[in-house]
Structure 1
Amino acid sequence: MPIFIVALGVLLLLLLIVKFKINTFIALIIVSILVALGLGMDITKIITSVETGVGGQLGHLALVFGFGAMLGKLVADAGGAYRIAITLINRFGRKKIQVAVVVASFIIGIALFFEVGLVLLIPIIFAIATELGISILYLGIPMVAALSVTHGFLPPHPAPTAITAAYGANMGQVLLYGLIISIPTAIVAGPLFSKIAIKVIPSAFERKGNIKALGKQKEFKLEDTPGFFISTITSLFPVILMALATIFSLAVKGDSTLKKFIEFIGAPGTAMLISLILAIYTMGIARKIPMKTIMNSVEISISQIAMMLLIIGGGGAFKQVLIDGGVGDYVAKMFNGTTLSPLLLAWIIAAILRICLGSATVAALTTAGLVTPLMVSGAVNPALMVLATGAGSLIASHVNDAGFWMFKEYFNLSLKETFGTWTLLETIISIVGLICVLILSLFI
């Protein structure tokens, strides 16, 4: 049975990564080849399938992912992210401090990848919590909720960007619908959940945190950072361009020259390039930073995501093998005539793979390879499939996920406390995200 072979492949992948500590990219390629053999693929076509998967995935992704990393690095290095966080926290005040943290983390989370946003925001959160005399976790939960939501649902983050290409979805629509479901999800998993968690696991909220785990951090003086407005606009510019182009395209019928131009500007690659050029000016040239220093930040940002790009390419290889090996068609036949929504099925498969593998990106890409044939009928919006898969890929982060250990160490929690806060928070994001997607599907 193809499903049995895939299950063995997933178990082997888990064994190679967790037990033998093999690099995730290498493990993905090994498992892709072995699964292809198990599925009876022509041995002369297996490497071609792997290469097609890697190339097809990165061909869609490299521009958006690369430009996104550069943009985020420029905003972070210039102190723009620091300015956004401090300004919002000061303006909202003590009573609405959690809301301020959610808003700041959400804006920063769009521009920066999860790990970078976490490392940048934690010192700020620790300092504010100490000054106000409140628990660091009281602010930490809303912070990671907002960062995790943007990581799971919104391009240019790895998983949503990769599966947008895999499903053939419109990235502007993914961004627009993702914003709609991200806001309520972040509120439920952040401020609302923290009020329950503090009663269920009070000991976690008494922890002082471990700022030393972050290593040496770049320090900023607020007066030396870019202004709040320009920092926010620069961070959100790709979102603004893609969202406006999508709205314009949906609202204006026909095929005019203006519409084509707007769609060109709002295309993911173009939008990210324009936003990067803006960031080079606002976060660099306008602040009289030498071009050599600006380009150094750009180069560092690419070196930091090189392995992530390869891992995503490896996930694309595994996905392609599942498609070429007929597993996707087999799954489609299994569910032929079923009343189960493809959105729910995508969420379930992604959730199972996430729990097994730990990596949200690999879980999401593998799911895309399995359920894409179910979309042939056109009964489901591809953008919603991206969001349903993204929601499933976030569930129940535990010991096989790097995010679990980062959260545990930075907030100095025990394993039990980490399961009761971080793991539960990720599960809430996954379930609430799915509910929002299903509600949205009633209107789209």
Structure 2
Amino acid sequence: MPIVSICIGVALLLLLMIVFKLNAFISLILVSLVVGILEGMSPIEAMSSVQGGLGGTLGSLTMIIIFGAILGKLMTDSGGAQRIAMTLIHAFGKKRVQLAAVLTASVVGIALFFETGVVVLIPLVFTIATAAGVPVLYIGMPVIAALITMHGFVPPHPGPTAIASVFNADIGKTLVYGIIIAIPAIIIGGPVFTKFFKKESLEIEIPKGLFNPKEFTDEEMPGFTTSLVTALMPVILIASHVIVVIAAPNSAVMPFFDFIGNANVALLLSVIFAFFTFGLNRGRKMKEVMQSVTDAVSGIAMILLIIAAGGAFKQVLIDSHIDQYIADIMASSTLSPLLLTWLIAAILRVAVGSATVAGMTAAGIAAPLVGITGISPELMVLAAGAGSITFSHVNDAGFWIYKEYFNLTIGQTIKTWSVMVTILSIVGLAGVLLINMIIS
């Protein structure tokens, strides 16, 4: 029975990852094979399905993920991220330093992976908090909220982009909806949430020797406009396509915007632009720029493999016709497919820890609902993304990154980080449901 096969597969996934501490990529491949065989596939057919899923997922996402990592690395190595942060802080002043930090993290977070964003911005958080005379977590929590929200909701981040490929969602629409939802989520989960803590509980002892950031001089950093435009270029190009589609879908310029608005092309053009703005124009030699490229690619290899394995699991569900079985069951269900998708992703997130695994697995299970219910595939992407960032605890690498950088106890980390990401998840779900009511 298909439902039993899925339950066995998910239980096995949890067993392999939680109990045996097996790598997520290997776990997903093994689970995909087991589910395929349980559903009547021969071992060779199951492996062929896995191979097809791997190839299909990598074929559509490899350039997006790699180019995104390269852009983020170039911005870090050039001092562009530091320029954006310091300029906004100077413009807003000490009284609004929290808002400046949130804006910085939101902008920088578009181009950087969550882990990279933390490494880049935590030193600035310590510097800002000390200079402004405010508790470290007063700045740190909203910054982390912005980074994880952009990571979960806004393409071209690998999570939402990979989930979009499962639902065949339009990247441009997903980006626009994602930003709309991300704004209230960041405000509520960041600055508003910090107001519920006493000042002394937000103060920490800055860890010694945990990081050794490069401090760029003013002459070494690119200008603010250059840094901002380069960081936002993928969003600008993709969003321009959405605007033209809405305003002038039949115009002569439509083919041009179809091209530059493609996520792969937008990121490729942005990376080439960054070679100059964050590299050659700053006096760096091409060899140095290419070293940043090499470092960026090596850093995201496992993320790419996990996403590909999630695609393999999805393909097995399709090839074994489990997807059709689920669609038939849900045809008469009154439960919102958006809520169901969020719930599946949230349960997997709590159990497995990996937001990528949770989002991709939930998408593979819920993908048939798009065709049978007519629900917006873009909102399904964001529902899965919202569920995938809910309550994070000791089985999530992000939990430990946050804990160690802010020198917190496990209890303090749960009270701040775990509760915060849950708030972001619930606000994200509310935003998805509200947009669905408006466009339906």
Scaled by the length of structure 2, the TM-score of the pair is: 0.97
Q: Deviations over 1:148-203 (max 9, x none)?
A: 1100001121110101111101101111111111111111100001111x14xx66
In structure 2, what is the Cα distance between the partners aligned to 1:204 and 1:22? Answer: 36
Report what 2:89 is aligned to. Answer: 89
In structure 1, what is the Cα distance between the partners aligned to 2:19 and 2:337? Answer: 33
How do residues 398-413 of structure 1 correspond to structure 2 at under 5 angstroms? 398-413=393-408
- 8 A contact 1:211–1:410 mirrored in 2: no
Report what 1:246 is aligned to. Answer: 242
Kindly state the Cα deviation for residue 27 of structure 1 after the two structures are TM-superposed. 1.6
Scaled by the length of structure 1, the TM-score of the pair is: 0.96
Structure 1 gaps of 5+ residues are none
How do residues 274-313 of structure 1 correspond to structure 2 at under 5 angstroms? 274-313=269-308
Q: Which amino acid aligns with 1:2?
A: P
Q: 1:335 and 2:330 equivalent?
A: yes
Q: Which amino acid aligns with 2:362?
A: T
- 8 A contact 1:323–1:370 mirrored in 2: no
Report what 1:416 is aligned to. Answer: 411
Kindly state the Cα deviation for residue 366 of structure 1 after the two structures are TM-superposed. 0.8
Report what 2:121 is aligned to. Answer: 121
Kindly state the Cα deviation for residue 91 of structure 1 after the two structures are TM-superposed. 1.3
How do residues 343-422 of structure 1 correspond to structure 2 at under 5 angstroms? 343-377=338-372, 379-422=374-417
Aligned residues: 439
Q: Which amino acid aligns with 1:207?
A: I
Q: Deviations over 1:124-154 (max 9, x none)?
A: 1111212222211111110001001100001
For the residue of structure 2 that corresponds to 1:105, the secondary structure is helix
Q: Deviations over 1:283-315 (max 9, x none)?
A: 111112111111111111001111111111111
Report what 1:79 is aligned to. Answer: 79
In structure 1, what is the Cα distance between the partners aligned to 2:46 and 2:200? Answer: 53
In structure 2, what is the Cα distance between the partners aligned to 1:30 and 1:233? Answer: 43
For the residue of structure 2 that corresponds to 1:44, the secondary structure is helix
In structure 2, what is the Cα distance between the partners aligned to 1:425 and 1:212? Answer: 27
Q: Deviations over 1:233-262 (max 9, x none)?
A: 0000000000011111122233x4411111
Kindly state the Cα deviation for residue 441 of structure 1 after the two structures are TM-superposed. 1.2
In structure 2, what is the Cα distance between the partners aligned to 1:4 and 1:400? Answer: 26
- 8 A contact 1:123–1:211 mirrored in 2: no
Kindly state the Cα deviation for residue 378 of structure 1 after the two structures are TM-superposed. 5.6
In structure 2, what is the Cα distance between the partners aligned to 1:276 and 1:179? Answer: 22
Q: For residues 211 and 267 of structure 1, do their structure 2 counterparts lie closer, same or farther at Cα, with a shift above 3 Å needed?
A: farther
Which runs of at least 4 in structure 1 moved beyond 4 Å after TM superposition? none
Q: Deviations over 1:310-357 (max 9, x none)?
A: 111111111211222232222222222222221111111111111111
Q: Which amino acid aligns with 1:260?
A: P
How do residues 316-327 of structure 1 correspond to structure 2 at under 5 angstroms? 316-327=311-322
In structure 1, what is the Cα distance between the partners aligned to 2:201 and 2:295? Answer: 36
For the residue of structure 2 that corresponds to 1:224, the secondary structure is coil
Report what 2:167 is aligned to. Answer: 167
Report what 1:314 is aligned to. Answer: 309
In structure 2, what is the Cα distance between the partners aligned to 1:211 and 1:108? Answer: 25
In structure 1, what is the Cα distance between the partners aligned to 2:258 and 2:349? Answer: 34
How do residues 201-216 of structure 1 correspond to structure 2 at under 5 angstroms? 204-214=201-211, 216=212
In structure 2, what is the Cα distance between the partners aligned to 1:327 and 1:423? Answer: 33
Report what 1:151 is aligned to. Answer: 151
Select 1:270's aligned residue among 265, 268, 271.
265
For the residue of structure 2 that corresponds to 1:223, the secondary structure is coil
Select 2:213's aligned residue among 208, 217, 221.
217
Kindly state the Cα deviation for residue 212 of structure 1 after the two structures are TM-superposed. 2.8
Residue identity (%)? 51
- 8 A contact 2:88–2:104 mirrored in 1: yes
